[in-house]
Amino acid sequence: MTEAVPPTPTSDFVRDEIRVDIEAGTYGGRVQTRFPPEPNGHLHIGHAKAICVDFGIADDFDGRCNLRLDDTNPDVEEVEFVDSIQEDIAWLGYEPASVRFASDYFEQLYAWAERLVEQGKAYVDEQDGETISAQRGGYGKPGIESPYRDRPVDENLTELRRMRAGEYPDGSRVLRAKIDMQSENMQLRDPVMYRIRHSHHHRTGDTWFIYPTYDWAHGQSDAVEGVTHSLCTLEFRSNRPLYDWYLAHLPLEQTAPKQREFARLELTHTVTSKRRLRALVEDGIVDGWDDPRMPTLSGLRRRGYPPAAIREFCAYIGLTRTNSRHDIELLESFVRTHLNRTSQRRMAVLRPLEVVVDNWPSNDDGTPYVDHFDVVNNPENPDDGTRSVPFTGRLFIERDDFAEVPPPKFFRLSPGREVRLRGAYLVTCTDVEKNDAGEVTRVHVTMDPESRGGTAPDGRKVKSTMHWVSAEHAVDARVALYERLFSAPIPGERTGDAMDDLDPASVELLDAKVEPALADTAPGEVVQFERLGYFAHDPRTPMLFHRTVGLRDEWANIQKRAAR
């Protein structure tokens, strides 16, 4: 499958600033970014935006982008997540210049912490977390200085070393930067740098009893790696002065990196928080992190989203400085456009109704005659060629495509009505069979032998063309149809809890009859079921298909409505 190159974004405030930095030689013309996920869950569509920003900007400026796993919290991190994060980034089409871990820098961070202590810029506080946070105050509420704030340097150093040596229990002490307890910015009110945790770490094992906080680790790791532009989401805006403060107090060999913030990606009907996604998995509401209803990259992959469509979407929404929520239909529109170009067309009947062609011929030996039609695989790409589809006197059509008593404007099959079976014959309904409950179980038709290929020589018109599958050749398949996992556009808006908007019926499993060529669909391949939508072959379970998106462009409708 060939993938389109994402449109090169013209510009945005981050790229503009980088151009200025290049011009001014701030970093000697270098551009380096990083993507810094915490390995405490699987990546989601929000992370895809950050990945496209971090890797995309590095690409645009011939720079480099590292993957840095922010593994500073040993209690929640797992190797499983480290692996899946790398898999997801590769799937999205990016390759880190280097894979790093914040824990690679634990020694350096510690050495720098001692240095701050020696300079009287950090101290060990023995108060408990509650007291410390109460003393921090708030907006318009003064901070209260800790009684440990003016400890002598020697004592601080001894205490810090004993913390590191594991001599103290969890929570009994922290190392704090000594900045300004009256700062307007709460982050600068003597932030915590180290906390004590007697926990096993997935990489450093049992060597550490203290772990750095996000703020103490992040900018310093950036500096060690040579990052020039450290891009993150808006909620870190108020951390920026602290980011700068730490770097300004360290003996760096090169110009300090700069943090810049952009808007988070939020989508309607979607939650993008690892904590909530984890709850869905742990509560058994979905069938794992890669359930096709999940907005995780592994879920979207299994659902059949092409990575190029995700990249194109991210490029289209671009980088902005205010948070907003995008319609999920916009993302789906990119997916649909991409799949329209690339996917093979197939016929599948999701809710089969049997059709008997009463005037279908038999072979001389009495077996039913089998006709074959060459059908175009992808009208968007002639190189995809054609395939041969068998047709016999016993077929399946979609139950919805038949009505014994047609409602107004129903032009599909009904008694006395002639329709086209796509690419095959014109048929007219002559009779129906029913069960004791009065349900139609079988439909009888006659075909016009002159209409082979789907048109009658007299050129008469029919109002409907329907897909079909030869019953004798049909292959069984399971098809999963999905609704939105969260029925409300803004999950949680109503009650404050997104879980209240969960749609328990967001998946419907059907036993379908599909054309034989579908048995050759590769794992993970996405095909178009004619008239129905795009469907992804499950990567693990043969003949299980997930509906990726329907055929109708709902985004176009939303725009039309908005224009009115």
Q: Count residues contacting Mg ion (CB under 5 A)?
A: 1
Residue 274 interacting partner from ligand ATP, Mg ion, none (CB closer than 5 to 8 Å by kind): ligand ATP
Task: Return the beta strands (E) in 342-455 as ranges.
Answer: 344-346, 348-349, 352-357, 371-376, 386-391, 394-398, 418-421, 426-434, 440-447
Strands 440-447 and 352-357 come out as parallel
Q: Is 256 in the site for ligand ATP (CB under 6 A)?
A: no
Residue with tokens 């014109």: 426
CB neighbour list of residue 105: distance below 8 Å, 6 or more residues apart: 217, 220, 221, 224
Any catalytic annotation for residue 264? yes
- The span of 31-39, 152-160, 178-186, 422-430 binding Mg ion (CB under 5 A) equals 31-39
Helix ranges (H only) for 165-306 are: 214-225, 240-248, 274-282, 297-303
Amino acid of residue 354: E
Q: Count residues contacting ligand ATP (CB under 6 A)?
A: 14
Q: Of residues 160, 232, 256, 350, which one binds ligand ATP by CB under 6 A?
A: 232
Provide the token pair at 437. Answer: 């409950």
Residue list 398-457, contact with Mg ion (CB under 5 A): none
Residue 470 interacting partner from ligand ATP, Mg ion, none (CB closer than 5 to 8 Å by kind): none
Strand partners, 345: 528
User: At its nearest, how many Å lie between ligand ATP and the CB of residue 271?
Assistant: 9
User: At its nearest, how many Å lie between ligand ATP and the CB of residue 48?
Assistant: 8
d(CA 316, CA 385): 32
Residue nearer to ligand ATP on the CB measure, 69 or 116? 69
- The span of 30-38, 457-465, 512-520, 542-550 binding ligand ATP (CB under 6 A) equals 30-38
- The span of 34-42, 135-143, 333-341, 533-541 binding Mg ion (CB under 5 A) equals 34-42
Q: Is 526 in the site for ligand ATP (CB under 6 A)?
A: no
Q: Is 304 in the site for ligand ATP (CB under 6 A)?
A: no
Residue 3 interacting partner from Mg ion, ligand ATP, none (CB closer than 5 to 8 Å by kind): none
CB atoms within 10 A of CB 79: 10
Choose, from 15, 34, 49, 274, the residue flagged as catalytic.
274
Q: Of residues 42, 274, 513, 546, which one binds ligand ATP by CB under 6 A?
A: 274
User: At its nearest, how many Å lie between ligand ATP and the CB of residue 47?
Assistant: 5
Phi, psi of 519 (to 5 degrees): -65, -15
Strand partners, 374: 388
Residue 46 interacting partner from ligand ATP, Mg ion, none (CB closer than 5 to 8 Å by kind): ligand ATP
CB neighbour list of residue 376: distance below 8 Å, 6 or more residues apart: 345, 384, 385, 386
Any catalytic annotation for residue 38? yes
Residue 133 interacting partner from ligand ATP, Mg ion, none (CB closer than 5 to 8 Å by kind): none
User: At its nearest, how many Å lie between ligand ATP and the CB of residue 69?
Assistant: 9
| Region for 200 from its dihedrals, namely left if φ exceeds 0, alpha if ψ lies in -120 to 50, beta otherwise | beta
User: At its nearest, how many Å lie between ligand ATP and the CB of residue 230?
Assistant: 9
Residue 56 interacting partner from ligand ATP, Mg ion, none (CB closer than 5 to 8 Å by kind): none
Amino acid of residue 439: E
d(CA 248, CA 109): 15
Coil/strand/helix, residue 534: strand
Residue 36 interacting partner from ligand ATP, Mg ion, none (CB closer than 5 to 8 Å by kind): ligand ATP
Residue list 36-65, contact with Mg ion (CB under 5 A): 38
Q: Which helix (H) or strand (E) holds 298?
A: helix 297-303
- The span of 32-40, 158-166, 331-339, 453-461 binding Mg ion (CB under 5 A) equals 32-40
User: At its nearest, how many Å lie between ligand ATP and the CB of residue 130?
Assistant: 24
- The span of 31-39, 350-358, 382-390, 405-413 binding ligand ATP (CB under 6 A) equals 31-39
Q: Is 12 in the site for ligand ATP (CB under 6 A)?
A: no
Strands 265-267 and 324-326 come out as parallel
Distances (CA, A) of 347 to 205, 398, 547: 55, 11, 14
User: At its nearest, how many Å lie between ligand ATP and the CB of residue 232?
Assistant: 4
User: Chain-centre distance of CA 558, in angstroms?
Assistant: 22
Q: x/- binding map, residues 44-63, to ligand ATP, per CB under 6 A? A: --xx-xx-------------
d(CA 420, CA 21): 64
Residue nearer to ligand ATP on the CB measure, 100 or 164? 100
Q: Would you say 401 and 443 are in contact if contact means Cβ atoms under 8 Å apart?
A: no
User: At its nearest, how many Å lie between Mg ion and the CB of residue 37?
Assistant: 8
Residue with tokens 């001894």: 158
Q: Is 388 in the site for ligand ATP (CB under 6 A)?
A: no
d(CA 465, CA 3): 32
User: At its nearest, how many Å lie between ligand ATP and the CB of residue 58?
Assistant: 14
Strands 418-421 and 426-434 come out as antiparallel
Q: Would you say 22 and 308 are in contact if contact means Cβ atoms under 8 Å apart?
A: no
Residue nearer to ligand ATP on the CB measure, 47 or 302? 47
Amino acid of residue 498: A
Residues designated catalytic: 38, 264, 274
Q: Please give the residue ranges that form the binding site for Mg ion (CB under 5 A).
A: 38
